[in-house]
Amino acid sequence: MLITSRKVLKRIICKLENNGEKKLFLLIGIFNMLITNVILQISLLLIPTFFATFISQIFNFLFGYYLYGKIVFKMKKLDKSIFKKYLLLVLVLGFLNFGFIQSFFYFEVNKNLTALLFIPLLALLSYYFQKKFVFVKVRI
């Protein structure tokens, strides 16, 4: 079953690569989010919330770094410079997300609703900065 799922995922990725980077970015993002949430949910059953969240976010970061770099933006090599830029972007987006949620909560808007509303904006920012700043191919 795992081999069949892998073949299906590979076919979907190949088809999306032909249709565009943005669609592939969305697919990888959804896939990353689902796996991260599975890890979070299982971890929450076994360890304290802080550690469960931390572990799931570390996975999200590393998995995203590799998948976005290699599959979406087709980087041949992922070096320390790219890693640092990706880390900076993730931290900035995390602080932005936190700021939006806290700001809207101040005006009595539900935190969960705010988080959902800002997903498209954060995804657009993430895609733009990954393309223009993080996973930039060196031109000679």
Least confident segment among 7-21, 54-68, 95-109 = 7-21
pTM, whole model, 2 decimals?
0.75
The set of residues, in sequence order, having a beta carbon less than 8 Å from that of 135 and lying 6+ positions away, is 68, 69, 72, 73, 75, 82, 86
Alpha helices for 47-78 (secondary structure H): 49-67
Domain definitions of the chain by residue range = 10-134
pLDDT single digits (tens) 101-134: 888 888 988 887 887 888 888 889 999 999 999 9
Distances (CA, A) of 36 to 55, 63, 69, 103, 115: 9, 9, 18, 26, 16
Give me the long-range contacts of 109-114 (CB less than 8 A, separation at least 24).
none
